[in-house]
């Protein structure tokens, strides 16, 4: 048996503690998960079995079961819709919990099954569903249903529109029947929440480095000890003197075995140098600390009622390390609250003013500017001839022509979309053209894309009101007249085509294709219309920072339609390469278009975006804007949000077609930058040029980018965004990146960046869900980074360093002691002290510190973003700092040990009655000095003394004394050794010991204080300077002890009384004036703050 210097319990207990705490935390989360799992698994569902409804638990659903879902229920599995309560077999669902899109989505059943609305009918169904293997993509599903009806097989394609995803909720539909195709972990929802790749913060990385260094120190200490032990043991008088014989067993054991066991024994003896509890403390700190972000009122968005949300607490400190910010434009910098502003119809530009279109551009007869109304349709409708004064001539022919153009344009706008109407008021009215009865003002549109919503709303204001779609009909009220369009096909939007189209049949029977999309995707396919004029207008819109879309149409002959219909059907039913085939079909259909015009929608900038970007830049953070928008729009937004300055020299890398050209351009840019390094540079890159630049000339490109103070990437595909971030991440400096975005297209970049921030915006919650932190507004970024990030970084950095320090202090005396006990592995401290040191005696002050520390007023941090530079590049955890703390730890350990050695080891009695101390007293003395020093060292680090800090700091020391007195005061039953009996009492009974404790503590801390003071004096960091100038705290030490949180506790009044006695309390005690902040950041906080501050200060 290997003989260990400390009992297994001694070393095991801290480990056990660490594991227990972690287990409790994980267990708690697991329990929550389990509960919600149970809730989901145990939810009652109705399954059709042998012609009847059977109630069962949702976990019992098997693939192939027909499930009945009632209104507002959640689907328990991925179902293929068979039939719904509606005759057309459609149903509405919301997928808010899956992708955050809040609009209602219509899903439809195959017509053959849609009629099976009763159980009896369902029983007659004989069908086979073939579908692909489970896949995580929520929007992709391919399969087909082979229905055997009257001995004949009918094959129907199944697409995402007939799949009801688990987790989605049925809306506006009485009930549906569906076949479960994927259940349990195979559902798309389950496949999607497979954990994200774990992100590790820079601090954690350096923490691991430190631990490895300590492991090396540990092993080398063990090796040194083992070697020295054997050097000593060569002489028998040391190895086995007469008074200390070995047992037979020890004598006979093999040399090698003994050597190994000695080495292991030393490892066990010194293992406390590796702070096991560091991990659990860090974890606790992160877990608890992250609550402060959610609690922060400054990060609370009043209008939407959203507070900041922390999805991973592992990255809190990384917020203080950001060097690059990549931000999306739409919805992040802007509100994503689209307002229809202008349009260009048939080559003429119009502006919307108070629900009317006003022509803008040069008017042929501008004799009367006031009368240049192009008039609204309602206007026209009521008084058709009053518009004769319109700038477009007076002839009625002309006017009808005009109306026709507009009519078509707005019809296109109000038909080509996927907007849903909220029919909350019309619940229950399942059939009939119920929408017709509603006034347009009562309609509320829900759209996945705010652009569409804005457009449909604008059309409604103008007079073409989309009322809803019923079955396969879209109803549009044009100037109060209801028209029904049969919706034949929707060619959905995708980001490759960048357009969508619908094929509708007009009441007159004509079939139209309406297309809407980015100008780059529409214009090339157009063969008619005012292409050139529109293009100019689109560019003008873009310059104003408006978002543009082009509208076009194509009239289809029935013959053409046949072809189209067939091709679409083929493509949609294809089991293989369906996407490819669909894309081909779409391309075939969307051609020979006639341009109708373009729309321009304004996206307002968010509040304080300019200030935030400015602050980020002052903090030394490079801001890149990555957007899918076109260059002109992007640049103008960039300029208006302060990302680009007017004074900046803007370089462009756009429209590069070939590799060589791109390289040449890059070299040119690099030259221009070096030539002209006084002025700031901004770079504009577009997606295609970027992919070229990234493919071959990464290094060159990175050089250019790094020298630019602002970079704007436009026309970016989602994956490209992620790729850019990846590139920056792996560049030689390994900068810490942060990505902000709000949409599903930002998810990949959010996940790629070191820190992903989601904006809880209008484009659903996908970004917020996949992010590490979610905030409501871009401007909150400044507080999140400069205040929270800074604090968390300082806290965790000190936490890590301090842990390392305290364990060096702890174990080095033990190592030194081996030199005096023949390397016999005798422990210096009692095993209970070894066990409890990290768990009880020192854990709380550092934990509380790491939760509450504010080395500087948060307001100062926010107002002086430059202070952020002080902690960049993981400065607090640099090797020099680490070395300092380590050396400090060692020197302290030497002081404790040799101080005690000279005091006691010179075999002098320290007691007034001449009695002697033993080895345990010696160890306890070292331990006491160490504990006090280590705790007071923590106190020195603390710049923010709340009553909690006072409580745990002094409490820890007091606890140590009380515990030791108690522990030493009893002969412990069932214990083998009573080594510590009365040792602590005897120690404290000695006057010299008291003096020695004070002396050693003072010496240790003096070293540190001197270093701190000199550092601050000769190389003050900006933060330190700011501390001096800004933190004129007037709360005194004593006050902080007594000021309990709410200022109402008894202690506070005691404190006040005490003060009155001492005569220190003056009205000026109401401390920091928060309201005296700079103009940028005064939000509601100052008022709130002052009121509580008044009440809580003594």
Partner 1 sequence: MAMSYNSKDEVDGGPPCAPGGAAKNRRPDNTAFKQQRLPAWQPILTAGTVLPTFFIIGLIFIPIGIGIFVTSNNIREIEIDYTGIDPSSPCNKCLSRNVTPCICTINFTLEQSFEGNVFMYYGLSNFYQNHRRYVKSRDDSQLNGDPTALLNPSKECEPYRRNEDKPIAPCGAIANSMFNDTLELFLVVNGSFSTAIPLKKKGIAWWTDKNVKFRNPPGEGPLQERFKDTTKPVNWVKPVYLLDSDQDNNGFINEDFIVWMRTAALPTFRKLYRIIERKSDLHPTLPAGDYFLNIQYNYPVHSFDGRKRMILSTISWMGGKNPFLGIAYITTGSISFLLGVVLLVINHKYRNSSNTADITI
| Active centre residues (catalytic) | 328
Shortest spacing between CB 407 and partner 1, in angstroms: 33
Shortest spacing between CB 502 and partner 1, in angstroms: 25
Shortest spacing between CB 465 and partner 1, in angstroms: 23
If the CB atoms of residues 396 and 918 are measured against partner 1, the closer one turns out to be 918
Shortest spacing between CB 298 and partner 1, in angstroms: 8
Taking every pair of C-alpha atoms in the chain, what is the biggest distance, in angstroms?
129
Shortest spacing between CB 852 and partner 1, in angstroms: 7
Q: Are 1067 and 1094 in contact (CB under 8 A)?
A: no
976 burial (CB, 10 Å; 0-12 / 13-18 / 19+) is exposed
Shortest spacing between CB 327 and partner 1, in angstroms: 22
Q: Are 340 and 601 in contact (CB under 8 A)?
A: yes
If the CB atoms of residues 71 and 1012 are measured against partner 1, the closer one turns out to be 1012
Residue 946's nearest CA partner among 1087, 1050, 817, 1041 is 1041
DSSP symbol at 756: E
Q: Are 478 and 463 in contact (CB under 8 A)?
A: yes
Residue 606's nearest CA partner among 577, 630, 642, 571 is 642
If the CB atoms of residues 966 and 995 are measured against partner 1, the closer one turns out to be 995
If the CB atoms of residues 420 and 874 are measured against partner 1, the closer one turns out to be 420
CA distance 1061 to 1098: 13
DSSP assignment of 111-132 equals: HHHHT--SHHHHHT--EEEEEP
According to DSSP, the β-strands at 334-345 and 348-353 are antiparallel
DSSP symbol at 464: E
Shortest spacing between CB 923 and partner 1, in angstroms: 8
If the CB atoms of residues 60 and 1096 are measured against partner 1, the closer one turns out to be 1096
Q: What is the 3-state secondary structure (H, E, C) of 267-331?
A: HHHHHHHCCHHHHHHHHHHHHHHCHHHHHCHHHCECCCCECCEECCCCCHHHHHCCCEEEEECCC
CB atoms within 10 A of CB 247: 8
Strands (E), 21-174: 44-49, 52-57, 66-70, 78-84, 90-94, 104-108, 127-131, 143-149, 152-158, 163-164, 169-171
- CA 672 to each of CA 666, 728, 1029: distance values in angstroms, whole numbers, following the listed order: 10, 22, 42
Both tokens of 941, joined, read 């680090």
Shortest spacing between CB 655 and partner 1, in angstroms: 38
24-28: Cβ within 8 A, 24+ apart: 25/283, 25/284, 25/287
Shortest spacing between CB 1014 and partner 1, in angstroms: 8
- CA 686 to each of CA 73, 292, 603, 693, 694: distance values in angstroms, whole numbers, following the listed order: 45, 39, 21, 10, 12
Shortest spacing between CB 1073 and partner 1, in angstroms: 13
Shortest spacing between CB 196 and partner 1, in angstroms: 6
CA distance 620 to 9: 50
392 burial (CB, 10 Å; 0-12 / 13-18 / 19+) is middle
Measured over the CA atoms of residue 398, residue 401, residue 403 and residue 405, the dihedral's sign is: negative
DSSP assignment of 344-410 equals: EETTEEEEEETTEEEE-S--TTTT-GGG-B---HHHHHH-TTGGGGSTT-S-HHHHHHHHHHHHHHH
Q: Are 802 and 843 in contact (CB under 8 A)?
A: no
φ/ψ (deg, to 5) at 523: -55, -45
If the CB atoms of residues 149 and 909 are measured against partner 1, the closer one turns out to be 909
φ/ψ (deg, to 5) at 323: -115, -25
If the CB atoms of residues 588 and 985 are measured against partner 1, the closer one turns out to be 985
If the CB atoms of residues 118 and 442 are measured against partner 1, the closer one turns out to be 442
If the CB atoms of residues 370 and 1029 are measured against partner 1, the closer one turns out to be 1029
169-171 β-sheet, strand order: 104-108, 90-94, 169-171
Q: Are 391 and 374 in contact (CB under 8 A)?
A: yes
CA distance 386 to 372: 12
Shortest spacing between CB 331 and partner 1, in angstroms: 14
If the CB atoms of residues 194 and 559 are measured against partner 1, the closer one turns out to be 194
242 burial (CB, 10 Å; 0-12 / 13-18 / 19+) is exposed
If the CB atoms of residues 350 and 947 are measured against partner 1, the closer one turns out to be 947
φ/ψ (deg, to 5) at 681: -115, 145
CA distance 350 to 343: 5
If the CB atoms of residues 399 and 457 are measured against partner 1, the closer one turns out to be 457
If the CB atoms of residues 691 and 1021 are measured against partner 1, the closer one turns out to be 1021
Shortest spacing between CB 456 and partner 1, in angstroms: 18
Which 3 state secondary structure label does DSSP give 1052? Answer: helix
């Amino acid at each position: 048996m290997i003989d260990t210097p400390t009992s297994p319990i001694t070393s095991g207990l801290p480990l056990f503690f660490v594991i227990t705490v972690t287990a409790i935390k994980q267990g708690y989360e697991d329990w929550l998960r389990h509960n919600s799992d149970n809730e989901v698994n145990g939810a009652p569902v109705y399954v059709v079995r042998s012609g009847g409804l059977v109630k069962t638990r949702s976990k019992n659903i098997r693939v192939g079961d027909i499930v009945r879902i009632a209104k507002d229920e959640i689907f328990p599995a991925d179902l293929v819709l068979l039939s719904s309560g509606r005759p057309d077999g459609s149903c509405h669902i919301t997928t808010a919990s899956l992708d955050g899109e809040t609009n209602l989505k219509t899903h439809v059943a195959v017509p053959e099954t849609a009629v099976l609305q009763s159980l009896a009918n369902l029983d007659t169904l004989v069908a086979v569903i073939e579908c692909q293997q489970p896949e995580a993509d929520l929007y992709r599903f391919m399969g087909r249903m082979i229905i055997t009806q009257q001995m004949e097989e009918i094959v129907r394609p199944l697409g995402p529109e007939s799949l009801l995803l688990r987790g989605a909720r049925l809306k506006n539909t009485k009930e549906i029947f569906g076949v479960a195709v994927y259940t349990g972990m195979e559902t798309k929802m389950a496949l999607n929440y497979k954990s994200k790749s774990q992100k590790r913060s820079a601090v954690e990385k350096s923490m691991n480095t430190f631990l490895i260094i300590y492991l090396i120190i540990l092993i080398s200490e063990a090796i040194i000890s083992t070697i020295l032990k054997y050097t000593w043991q060569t002489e028998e008088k040391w190895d086995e003197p007469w008074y200390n014989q070995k047992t037979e067993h020890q004598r006979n054991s093999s040399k090698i075995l003994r050597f190994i066991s000695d080495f292991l024994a030393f490892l066990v003896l010194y293992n406390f140098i590796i702070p096991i509890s560091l991990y659990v403390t860090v974890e606790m700190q992160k877990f608890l600390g992250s609550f402060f972000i959610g609690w922060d009122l400054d990060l609370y968005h009043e209008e939407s009622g959203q507070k900041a949300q922390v999805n991973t607490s592992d990255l809190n400190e990384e917020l203080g390390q950001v060097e690059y910010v990549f931000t999306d434009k739409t919805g992040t910098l802007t509100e994503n609250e689209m307002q229809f502003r202008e349009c260009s119809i048939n080559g003429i530009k119009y502006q919307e003013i108070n629900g009317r279109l006003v022509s803008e551009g040069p008017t042929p007869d501008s004799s009367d500017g006031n009368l240049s109304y192009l008039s609204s349709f309602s206007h026209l409708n009521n008084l058709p001839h009053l518009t004769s004064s319109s700038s477009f001539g007076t002839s009625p022919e002309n006017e009808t022509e005009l109306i026709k153009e507009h009519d078509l344009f707005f019809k296109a706008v109000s038909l080509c979309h996927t907007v849903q109407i909220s029919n909350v008021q019309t619940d229950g009215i399942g059939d009939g053209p119920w929408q017709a009865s509603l006034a347009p003002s009562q309609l509320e549109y829900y759209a996945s894309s705010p652009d569409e919503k804005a457009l449909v709303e604008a059309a409604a204001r103008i007079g073409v009101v989309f009322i809803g779609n019923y079955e396969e009909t879209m109803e549009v009220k044009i100037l109060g007249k209801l028209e029904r369009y049969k919706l034949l096909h929707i060619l959905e939007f995708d980001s490759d085509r960048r357009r969508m189209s619908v094929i509708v049949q007009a009441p007159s029977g004509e079939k139209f294709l309406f297309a809407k999309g980015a100008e780059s995707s529409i214009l090339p396919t157009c063969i008619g219309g005012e292409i050139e004029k529109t293009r100019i207008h689109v560019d003008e819109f873009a310059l104003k920072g408006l978002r543009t879309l082009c509208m076009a149409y194509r009239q289809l002959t029935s013959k053409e339609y046949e072809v189209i219909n067939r091709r679409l059907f083929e493509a949609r039913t294809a089991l293989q390469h369906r996407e490819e085939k669909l894309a081909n079909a779409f391309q075939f259909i969307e051609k020979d278009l006639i341009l109708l015009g373009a729309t321009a929608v304004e996206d307002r900038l968010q509040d304080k975006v300019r200030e935030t970007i400015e602050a980020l830049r002052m903090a030394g953070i490079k801001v890149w804007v990555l957007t899918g928008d076109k260059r002109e729009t992007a640049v103008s937004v960039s300029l208006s949000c302060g990302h680009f300055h007017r004074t900046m020299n803007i370089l462009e890398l756009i429209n590069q077609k070939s590799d060589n050209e791109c390289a040449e351009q890059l070299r040119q840019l690099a030259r221009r930058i070096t030539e002209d390094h006084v002025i700031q540079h901004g770079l504009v890159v577009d997606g295609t040029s970027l992919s070229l630049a990234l493919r071959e000339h990464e290094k060159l490109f990175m050089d250019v980018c790094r020298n630019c103070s602002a970079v704007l990437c436009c026309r970016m595909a989602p994956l490209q965004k992620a790729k850019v971030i990846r590139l920056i991440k792996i560049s030689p400096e390994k900068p810490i990146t942060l990505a902000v975005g709000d949409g599903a297209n930002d998810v990949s970049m959010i996940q790629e960046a070191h820190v992903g921030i989601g904006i809880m915006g209008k484009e659903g919650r996908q970004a917020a869900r996949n992010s590490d932190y979610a905030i409501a507004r871009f401007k909150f970024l400044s507080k999140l980074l400069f205040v929270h990030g800074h604090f968390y970084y300082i806290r965790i950095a000190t936490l890590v360093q301090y842990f390392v320090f305290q364990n060096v202090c702890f174990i080095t005396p033990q190592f030194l002691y081996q030199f005096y006990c023949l390397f016999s592995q005798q422990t210096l401290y009692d095993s209970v002290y070894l066990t409890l040191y990290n768990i009880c005696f020192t854990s709380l002050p550092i934990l509380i510190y790491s939760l509450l520390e504010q080395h500087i007023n948060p307001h100062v941090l926010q107002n002086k973003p430059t202070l952020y530079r002080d902690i960049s590049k993981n400065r607090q955890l640099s090797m020099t700092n680490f070395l300092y703390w380590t050396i400090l730890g060692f020197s302290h350990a030497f002081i404790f040990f040799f101080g005690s050695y000279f005091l006691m080891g010179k075999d002098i009695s320290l007691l007034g009655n001449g009695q002697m101390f033993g080895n345990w007293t010696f160890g306890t003395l070292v331990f006491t000095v160490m504990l006090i020093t280590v705790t007071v060292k923590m106190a020195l680090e603390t710049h923010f003394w709340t009553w909690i800090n006072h409580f745990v700091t002094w409490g820890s020391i007091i606890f140590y004394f009380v515990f030791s007195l108690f522990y030493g005061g009893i002969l412990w039953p069932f214990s083998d050794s009573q080594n510590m009996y009365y040792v602590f009492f005897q120690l404290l009974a000695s006057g010299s010991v008291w003096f020695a404790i004070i002396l050693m503590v003072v010496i240790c801390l003096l070293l540190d204080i001197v270093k701190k003071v000199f550092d601050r004096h000769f190389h003050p960091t900006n933060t330190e300077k700011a501390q001096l100038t800004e933190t004129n705290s007037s709360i005194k030490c004593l006050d902080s002890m007594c000021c309990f949180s709410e200022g109402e506790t008894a202690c506070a009044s005691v404190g006040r009384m005490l003060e009155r006695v001492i005569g220190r309390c003056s009205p000026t005690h109401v401390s920091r004036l928060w309201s005296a902040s700079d103009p940028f950041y005064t939000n509601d906080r100052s008022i709130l703050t002052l009121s509580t501050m008044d009440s809580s200060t003594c």
